[in-house]
Chains A and B, each alone.
Chain A
Amino acid sequence: MEVENVGVSSIEVDKILEPQFDLKDLLIYDSNELTGKSNEYLKDLARDNAQLLINQIFKRAGLETEIVNDSVVTELPEKKYDDVFVQPREKPIPKKSAQTKWEAFATLKGINAKKKKSRMVWCEITNSWKPRWGYMRAEKASQLNKNGESKDWIRVIKPHEDPNVDPWEKEKTEKKERVAKNEHARLKNVARQKGMNNAKRQQDKNELRDSFRKAKFSTASLGNFDEAVAGEKKEKNGGKKKYNALFSKDADNESKQILDLMSAKNPKFNKNAAADKVLNFEKKKAAGKVQKRNSHLKADGKSRKGKPTGNKVANRRQR
């Protein structure tokens, strides 16, 4: 390496406005006016800015250094999050997931996480390392004889067991049931998490209005003599439904509007309202508060009340 003019001038750079640095990303923002366009000018400018940046990194920002594998390594400071340097993220911030049912139980009971089990297990019978689970697992290997044939070709039926049940089929179906049960439990955990995320949204304006209305109505005088709260609007109660005139000048337009609404590509469908309705229905059903719509009718649509329909003459005879 050559030694340039030893002196203060070789590393010093004069700038009218102090440039801004973000050393985490090795950035220098120089807001000084540009006075040239040529490549030579740009190169000189770049050299000056690089000198300033390197000065900062080497010494002037007071950064920690250490020696790693014969080279000097500088620890960069934290990223600046102020308006000038802030950068957008790639993806949104991860949401905190709700605990699964097991996790909640474990924290309650103070059960710690299991230690990781090793993949290979020593199999005494074959005198070799076999996987703990999966293909050619230790358990199964011990069930094979020298020719690779299964030793499990015969099973003794105990006195309390049903002799007509195929034990291998039974094993298979039981395994399928266990897997399905596990999957079901996992889906329940997922649904619980989703429910948690939805519940966190703040009360809608409409919801607040509803609860206010209900509170008002629950007084003995149905809220008629209550003092009006600041900003409270007078509620429209009742009134008859207004029907459009049978014969109107605007008949064409009105029918056109109706047709437009019906044939629109994007129907006026409130997804959130519909989803909420479904969610609420599920809740109510679970709580046993949902009555079947036509509970006054039987499944075949006939009335529950009154005498049973059918052969009245025959019934009379039986009496």
Chain B
Amino acid sequence: MVASKTAVESGVVRAKNARQKRKLLNEAPKVFENAKSTIFIKGGNVSDIITNVFTDLHRLKSPHSLVFKKKNIVRPFEDASSLEFFSKKTDSSLIGFGSHNKKRPHNFVIARTFDHQILDMVELGIGNYVALKYEFTRSFILPFFSPSAEIAMGTKPMLSFAGDAWENVLELKDGSKIDFKRIRSLFVDFFRGDTIDNVRRTGLELLMQFTLQEGVISMRTYKVIMKKSGQEEPRVELESIGLNMDLTVRRTQLSNPTNFKKACKQPAGIKEKNRKNITKDGLTGEVRGTVHLPSARQNLDEIALNHKKVMKRPMPEKEIDSEDEKEFDQDVEMEEM
């Protein structure tokens, strides 16, 4: 799979100003990548449900999300090249494509790209949709000052995948296979949001659960309420906030294992090297290291600890401030070893 390089990427055509240069650098491959951006595209004919789902998901995923206003007649499973083009133009690697017709009502295709080429695609039928009741706001001072029906925009959701069917590969009547492990990975990619290093404990407000039963993925979203339990870990309670749907798995187009492995390759420096011989005392917070001496046998009797010549040299005269004289008198005399 060789992605064609444009003149810009190869450096033949250069950026004309600083803004263009910044854009190029932002869109270039990096060791630590940007948050994956999503584009929501509507097909030739779209139902109300699809439109509402797009609005809700867009609110959930903002600011890393873009909804296309116009309809685009695309058949992803026949020819996904226009989706790839949109991915490249908007620098988004996650695509949500919605369409509605008699054969496939309330159709929702989730796709992800690698290097702007489609990697995995899943076609889902939306059923039992419940709209999002909560507002997503930009405010970060939330829990105390704003009404409770709000969650901060960009909150990283907790994701729960329940059911033993997620680990299996389902074989259909026509011989095709659905690898639910891969679909689970796709869902994680789609819903997990930005990569974060730290999380504020009170910021763990959003939970999304995906349960798989008989080829139907039930998605439920909740707000997490933490109550005192008398211990360090709080008692967790949930509140339904909408954004629920039952997704029937229709068609899939998953890349072969080699291509997937290629896409999963991580750069060399990313894994933190295991620092040996360093431990942190949980109680005192001290960082302790173990030093290994080159030879186990060291005869302390024979090692020169007594440097006579040096010890006999007179110490340099120090200028003592009259105010500090008392302090020096109290000094403990150095004993000769």
Contact = CB atoms under 8 A, between A and B. Distances in A.
A34 B161 CA distance: 11
A6 interface: yes
B236 to A, nearest CB: 4
Contacts of B33: 89-91
Interface in B241-286: 244, 260, 263-267, 271-272, 282
A89 B200 contact: no
Nearest to A22: B188
A238 interface: no
Interface residues of A, number: 64
B209 A42 contact: yes
Interface in B80-117: 93, 112-115
B162 A34 contact: yes
Interface string A260-281: 0000000000000000000000
Which of A8, A42, A193 has most B Cβ within 10 Å? A42
A62 B281 CA distance: 12
B149 interface: no
Contacts of A29: 161, 166, 184
B204 A6 contact: no
Nearest to B184: A29
Interface stretch (A50-58, A121-129, A155-163): A50-58
A179 B63 CA distance: 41
Interface in A41-69: 42-43, 45-47, 49-51, 53-55, 57-60, 62, 68
Contact of B200 (A37, A43, A73): A73
Nearest to B157: A26
B234 A54 contact: yes
B29 A93 contact: yes
B163 A34 contact: yes
B316 interface: no
A87 B185 contact: yes
Interface in B131-171: 156-164, 166-167
A276 B325 CA distance: 85
B197 interface: yes
Interface stretch (A75-83, A109-117, A226-234, A301-309): A75-83
Nearest to A90: B93
A74 B233 CA distance: 13
Contact of B10 (A33, A46, A194): A194
B264 A46 contact: no
B69 interface: no
Contacts of A79: 195
A90 B36 contact: yes
Contact of B160 (A6, A30, A81, A186): A30
Given A49-B162, A90-B33, A11 B233 contact: yes
A90 B163 CA distance: 28
Given A31-B166, A31-B167, A87-B264, A11 B235 contact: yes
A10 B185 CA distance: 31
Q: Which 5 A-B pairs have the closest CB atoms?
A: A88-B263, A6-B230, A49-B160, A91-B29, A190-B11
14 contacts: A6-B230, A7-B230, A11-B234, A27-B159, A28-B158, A31-B164, A34-B213, A45-B162, A76-B197, A76-B199, A87-B188, A88-B119, A91-B28, A93-B267
